[in-house]
Amino acid sequence: MKKILVFLVVAQLIVISCTNKNKETKTDLVDVPVSFLPFKTIDLNDKSGFLKNGDNWQIVEDAYVDRKKDKSLSGTPGTGVLINLPTPNSKDHLFTAFEHGDIEVEVDVMMPVNSNSGLYFQGRYEIQLFDSWGVLNPTAADMGGIYQRWDNERAEEKGYEGHAPHLNAAKAPGLWQHFRIVFHAPKFNPEGEKIKNAVFKEVWLNNQLLHENVEVTGPTRAAAFTDEKPLGPFMIQGDHGPVAIKNLKYKLYGENRVTLTNLKMTEYDSKSETLPGLDTITSLRTLDTDSISALMATGERPRKILEYKGELEVPTTGDYVFNYKVNVAGGFLLLNNDTIIKLDQNFNGYAKIALQKGKTPFALIYNKYNGRTSGLGLSVEGPEMEKHDLHAKNSFVPRRRNPKNDVIIEVKNEPVTQRSYLMHKGEKRTHVISVGMPEGVSYAYDLELGSLLKVWDGQFLDATHMWYVRGIEQLGVPNEFNISFTGNPDFAFLEDERTVWPDSIASTIIQKQLGYEFDATGIPTFSYQMNESTIANKIEALKNGRGFKRVISIAGSQEIWFKMADGKEIKKLPDGTYVIRDENYFIDFSTSDGITPIIRNVNGKDELLVKIAPGNKSINYNIIW
């Protein structure tokens, strides 16, 4: 590979197509590039990763929440999961054996009904853990909130500076919930005086951004320490309520940064998406610069090529991950003369490279062939080094529509139904109807296949793509906090329980849509026919908490199978419900008397199936997330 790339450098780097068509080039890029450096994991085979703690903390294999009882949590023997079972005599906090300043943490938590705990950064600044399932207007005391500070001497409210999450992304008690948090510790001068407050740079819960760049002026209420220091242990609260923890991992960040030196920029006219050999065209200008920026392209709505050459000042030897991205443009990044990052179909590229301390040569090409768009971003992550930008401020601003022009379909006092296209697991579905309920939950149903696609809560449907740019995409976009189902036909005729589930309607099956009817409250029932079997679907919102009740009626003279769910792992819980672990939701099948689902594994994936005998049958179950 090195010989090929050295030749490219000698030839001024180029006859490469760097378009969104993602054409093949002579490089050894892996199919799935590394996009971040690995975390350190706290091994939960024992408690050796923590300081001495009380008996309330136990290592188990799995955790279970009884959703009919307050604060009920139990574990099964084994390793891999940490649970807190506080008692009056044992309710210690849990402190990590390491101390941290700036840190990124990922962790999965499980909350029992009405339980309360917290993640304390440096033992001082709390992200609240709470059973907030179904809370409409979350506060700082709800799941993912930055908890308030407290001062008994204040004349006004003693609790202050709490920060509520932007939205309630808390799942039902008993489900695993994923946090990713980037925390910046307070900074001090050599005399020990604080010169910068602690900051929660990002707080994500279940892939939803709850906080961004929120300052905390001091320790929050119930912190283990009342002072502030450059370093402190990560702490999990132990004296309030039960909680389960797994997959606890972290990255410690220092002050080191990669910088640019000896940087030159050469500008050329751009004629097309395909890059020419730069030695075959005349440059417009060459100058010394100290930054990389898309805004250096000259002219009104410019179509230009910017070529940057220089060196990276690498502070320490180790692995580095670079991310090069643009807004509708071409280009590539060449590192150390032998590693090239090209852009994928989303105008984004990553590469992991081992670098030595000192200066590393690089070259960056930005082909701004589209006069209407602008944006060039280059960032890097390194050993104990947080990902940071190497481009100038405002060089890369993600393309966004003006939210004032968005077309949002809202639900008020009665159900709303909307036909549209909808993306499901990377595929555009063209016969979709979405239904929003006044209870604040919604679902999408594929009329062509007879398949439930998604469920979600919050905003019903963004219909902007149905109108934007003359409605070319025709997409309805659900709220991002959603659960996706298999997307395959819900019903199939199988030879036996080992038969692979079809991903489409077989040519031997006669399927006919019978339309849909609305009841007096505006809730639709969808009906269709498969051979001689008639199937009717009705989906209603649960009255308490986030979930749906699904009622399916089947009438036919032939045995038929129904698939409720598939996933990496499906497990039957002690209360009789089933938990689907990758999308992470419950199926409660207790209301369907006389019908027992089976769990089978096909091609490395679990499936939850029901066999329906001939005759008139009914299936009732709840989906809870």
Q: What is the mean pLDDT of residues 360-371?
A: 97
First-to-last alpha carbon distance for the chain, in angstroms, is 49
- Using 50, 70 and 90 to split pLDDT, how confident is the model at 9? very low
Of residues 471 and 195, which shows the higher confidence score? 195
- Using 50, 70 and 90 to split pLDDT, how confident is the model at 12? very low
| Residue 2: predicted pLDDT | 37
Query: Could you say which of 2.60.120.10, 2.60.120.560, 2.40.128.50, 3.40.50.620 is the CATH number of the domain covering 40-253?
Result: 2.60.120.560
- Tell me: domain 2-35+256-389, CATH 1.10.10.10, correct? no
| Residue pair 301/371 in contact by the 8 Å Cβ criterion | yes
CA distance 267 to 302: 11
**Of 201-205, 432-436, 467-471, 577-581, which gets the smallest average pLDDT?**
467-471
CA distance 438 to 411: 6
pTM summary value: 0.89
- Tell me: domain 405-624, CATH 3.30.450, correct? no
Q: What is the mean pLDDT of residues 414-421?
A: 96
If one counts every other C-beta atom within 10 angstroms of the C-beta of residue 266, the result is 16
Sheet holding 339-342, edge to edge: 285-289, 259-269, 304-314, 358-368, 330-335, 339-342
Q: Is the pLDDT of residue 473 over 70?
A: yes
- Using 50, 70 and 90 to split pLDDT, how confident is the model at 424? very high
- Using 50, 70 and 90 to split pLDDT, how confident is the model at 398? confident
CA distance 243 to 259: 43
| Residue pair 472/575 in contact by the 8 Å Cβ criterion | no
CATH 2.60.120.1560 domain range(s) in the chain: 2-35+256-389
CATH 2.70.98 domain range(s) in the chain: 405-624
CA distance 591 to 574: 16
Strands (E), 471-544: 477-478, 482-484, 491-492, 511-518, 524-530, 533-541
Q: What is the mean pLDDT of residues 155-179?
A: 93
- Using 50, 70 and 90 to split pLDDT, how confident is the model at 405? confident
CATH 2.60.120.560 domain range(s) in the chain: 40-253
Average pLDDT of the chain to the nearest whole number: 92
Q: Is the pLDDT of residue 19 over 60?
A: no
Of residues 473 and 439, which shows the higher confidence score? 439
What is the residue-wise DSSP string for 30-44? -SS---SPPPEE--T
Q: Is the pLDDT of residue 32 over 80?
A: no
